[in-house]
Each structure stands twice: as structure tokens, then as C-alpha cells.
Amino acid sequence: MVFFITVALAVWVGSMVIWYLVSNVFKSKDVDKIKSRLAGKEPKATVKTKERRPALIETEDLQTGKFAIKLLKKFDLQPRLQALLEQAGLKWRVARLVHACLGCFLLGYLCVHFFLPPKYRILGLIPAALCGMLPILHVSRKRASRLHRFEELFPDSLEFVSRSMRAGHAFSVSLEMIHREFQEPLSSEFKRAFEEHNLGLPLDVALEKLAKRVPLLDVQFFVSAVILQKRTGGNLAEILDKLAFIIRERFKLRGKIRAISAHGRMTGMALSSIPMVVAVLMFFSNREYILFFFNEEIGMYLAGAGLTLQLLGYWVIQQIVKIEV
């Protein structure tokens, strides 16, 4: 088993190194061609090759990580991972995320393999699977941080659109002005919506795509209000002002709830960290007592059950103090 994992890790690392070197060679050739053209010393092509023109819409590279892409398509996971990366604001390929998960899984298994007895080395797959989830957890944290930043800037953008419309600008022009006046991620998302509408996509469809890229309830309200006003009429500027006021009030209420539930969150963190701290102290003071949980079969079962119950208790506490507004 160890030999197989080592060979797989070596093959994966070797393929990544070869791909990196080959890509750098091709990039250097392209740079040399550009320099020669700027200097007026472009060599004559001996063989006519079919030029590949850049695509209007950037798509997923199906050549890099072809096997991983096919596997993800089979289980219908590629669109979900692509949407996750897009919402996180990362310019990663889906294949890159899969390779990162695979690399973390192999490294985690090799690290845990040397600390477990030969009889229980198969249990190393559990921490290895947890290590394999680290890239996805990183992307999820980036996504949550980006959406939170978007939600903070969103009320100001609604008031900005309202003032722009009162000044005489069209709604689509107000969307384009957000790109120059606001920071990321608000500017890039509204710029994309404006460009899609400017290239011929109906405004309703462009706003619905914005709501899919930014899965927030406030954005859903905004899109519904704009579409409803377009179909039935009304004062859109006043609607946006009231929507911005409601969003700010929700933020205030959410802050009060977080302040009230802070004691519960701190209690959960303290109760979850006490067993780990006690285990570390016992390892230095009475090592034989702790090694019982690693060397004996019943000790490993007890440690696994205790860890499972500890994680379950922490999850229950988090669900109790988690209040949606």
C-alpha cells in the first residue's frame, strides 16, 4: 500500500513538473516571436500552420487534467466546482483544484502512515481525506469572505444607482458607473452584468445571471425589484433607497445577534479545545497514558469515538448560536 501511494505521488509530481517545464518553453517561444516582430526580424515560416484565434468566451481547458474533467462530468461535479471558484473570485481551473486535492490527500496519507502501527495503517485514509478537503475549504473561505464583502458594499451601490437615476442617467449606465466608483468584488460583478447587456443580452437575463453568480438574498430582492419595475412601472429610485435601508437594518440586527450569541460561540470553542489541551499536557507528563490510545486497539476505538462526539457537540453548539436574519 505504501509503495503504491509513493509511486502515485511520484508520478503525479513528475507529471506536474513536466507540464510546468513544457508550458514555460512554449511561453518563452511566444515571447521570442513577439520580440522578433517588434524588432522587424520575423523569420519566415516554412510550414503553414492553421492559426488558432482567441475565443470570444473563455471556456474550461479540456486538455489539462482530461481524466479529472471526465470524472467530474460523470458525477456532475464540474459545474458546481466551477461556480464555487467563480464565486470565490479565483482564476483557477477545475482541474487545478482537483490536482491540489489529490496532492494534499497523498501527502496527508504519507505523513500519517509513519505514525500508525502496521495493523491500523488503513485508518490513515481518514486524516488523508481530511487533508484532501483543505483546498476546497480554502476556496469556500475565499467565497464566504468575498460574498460578505459584496454584502457590505451593496447598500451603498443601491443608493449610488438611485442618485444616478435621479441625476438623469439610465439604469444600465448607472451599473457601468459602479465599476469606477466601488471596490471589488462589487465593481467586477456589475461591470460584467453591464457588458453582457451592452453586447446584446436582455437586461432581465443579465441581472438573473448576476443573481446566480452572487447567491445572496439581497441581490435576489434587487433583481426582482428591477424586473418588476420594468414590467409594471414605478419609481425605481425610491424602491432602491428603501431596499438599501432594509439591508442596513438587517446588518444592524445581525450585529446585535452576534453580540448576544458571542458567549455561546466562546463556550463551544472552549469546550472543544479543552480535550486537545489536556491530551497535549498528558503527553508530556504521562506519555504512557496517552500512548494507550495509539498502541491498543480499544484505545484507538475510544479515541475515535471521543473525537467524533467532540466534533458532533461542537456542530450542535454552532447550530444553536447560528441565527439567520
Same domain, 7 and 104: yes
Region class of 274: left (phi > 0), else alpha (psi between -120 and 50), else beta:
alpha
List C-alpha distances in Å: 189 to 63, 87, 208, 227, 257: 28, 10, 12, 18, 30
In contact, 103 and 133? CB cutoff 8 Å: no
Q: Are residues 71 and 108 in the same domain?
A: yes
Q: How many domains does the chain have?
A: 3
pLDDT for position 49: 41
Q: Is residue 137 part of a domain?
A: no
> Does a structural domain hold residue 58?
no
Q: Do 179 and 223 reside in the same domain of the chain?
A: yes
Kindly state whether residues 298 and 241 are assigned to the same domain.
no
Q: Say how many CA atoms lie within 13 Å of 203 toward its Cβ.
A: 16
Are 156 and 277 part of one and the same domain? no
Q: What is the CATH number of the domain that holds 211?
A: 1.20.81
What pLDDT is recorded for position 214? 86
DSSP string spanning 211-235? HHHS--HHHHHHHHHHHHHHHH---
In a shared domain, residues 192 and 313: no
Residue 266 lies in a domain: yes
Question: Both 73 and 192 in a single domain?
Answer: no
pTM value > 0.75:
no
Q: Are residues 293 and 313 in the same domain?
A: yes
What is the reported pLDDT for 55? Answer: 47
Q: Would the CA dihedral through 184, 87, 316, 249 be positive or negative?
A: positive
The answer to whether the beta carbons of residues 211 and 220 sit under 8 Å apart is yes
Same-domain status, 125 and 166: no
- pLDDT tens digits in sequence order for the chain, 325 residues long: 555 566 566 656 666 666 565 555 555 555 556 556 655 555 544 444 444 454 444 555 555 556 666 666 666 777 788 888 888 888 888 878 888 888 888 888 887 777 766 766 676 777 788 888 888 888 888 888 888 888 888 888 888 888 888 888 878 788 888 888 888 888 888 888 888 888 888 888 888 888 888 888 888 888 888 888 888 877 888 888 888 888 888 888 888 888 887 887 888 888 888 888 888 888 788 878 878 877 777 887 888 888 888 888 888 888 887 776 6
First to last CA, the chain: 50
Would 35 be classed as within a structural domain?
no
Amino acid 48: pLDDT: 41
Residue where one domain finishes, among candidates 255, 280, 310:
255
Q: What is the C-alpha separation between 72 and 91, in angstroms, rounded?
A: 19
CB 179 within 8 A of CB 195: no
pLDDT of residue 3: 55
Whether residue 52 is contained in a domain is answered as no
pLDDT of residue 88: 84
In this prediction, residue 15 carries a pLDDT of 62
Separation of alpha carbons 110 and 311, rounded Å? 24
The answer to whether residues 14 and 115 belong to one domain is yes
Q: What backbone torsions phi and psi does residue 68 show, to the nearest 5 degrees? A: -65, -40
On whether residue 57 sits in a domain, the answer given is no
Q: What is d(CA 139, CA 80) in angstroms, rounded to the nearest whole number?
A: 12
On whether residue 153 sits in a domain, the answer given is yes
- Omega cis (within 30) before 202: no
67 and 187 co-located in one domain:
no
Last residue of a domain, one of 83, 108, 132: 132
What does the pLDDT read at residue 51?
Answer: 47
Instruction: Check: CB of residue 92 under 8 Å from CB of residue 76.
Output: no
Residue 49 lies in a domain: no
Residue 183's domain comprises: 146-255
Give me the amino acid identity at 53. Answer: R
Q: Cell numbers of 268, please?
A: 463551544
- Assess whether 283 and 317 both reside in one domain: yes
Last residue of a domain, one of 255, 284, 311: 255
**182: which 3 cell numbers?**
466601488
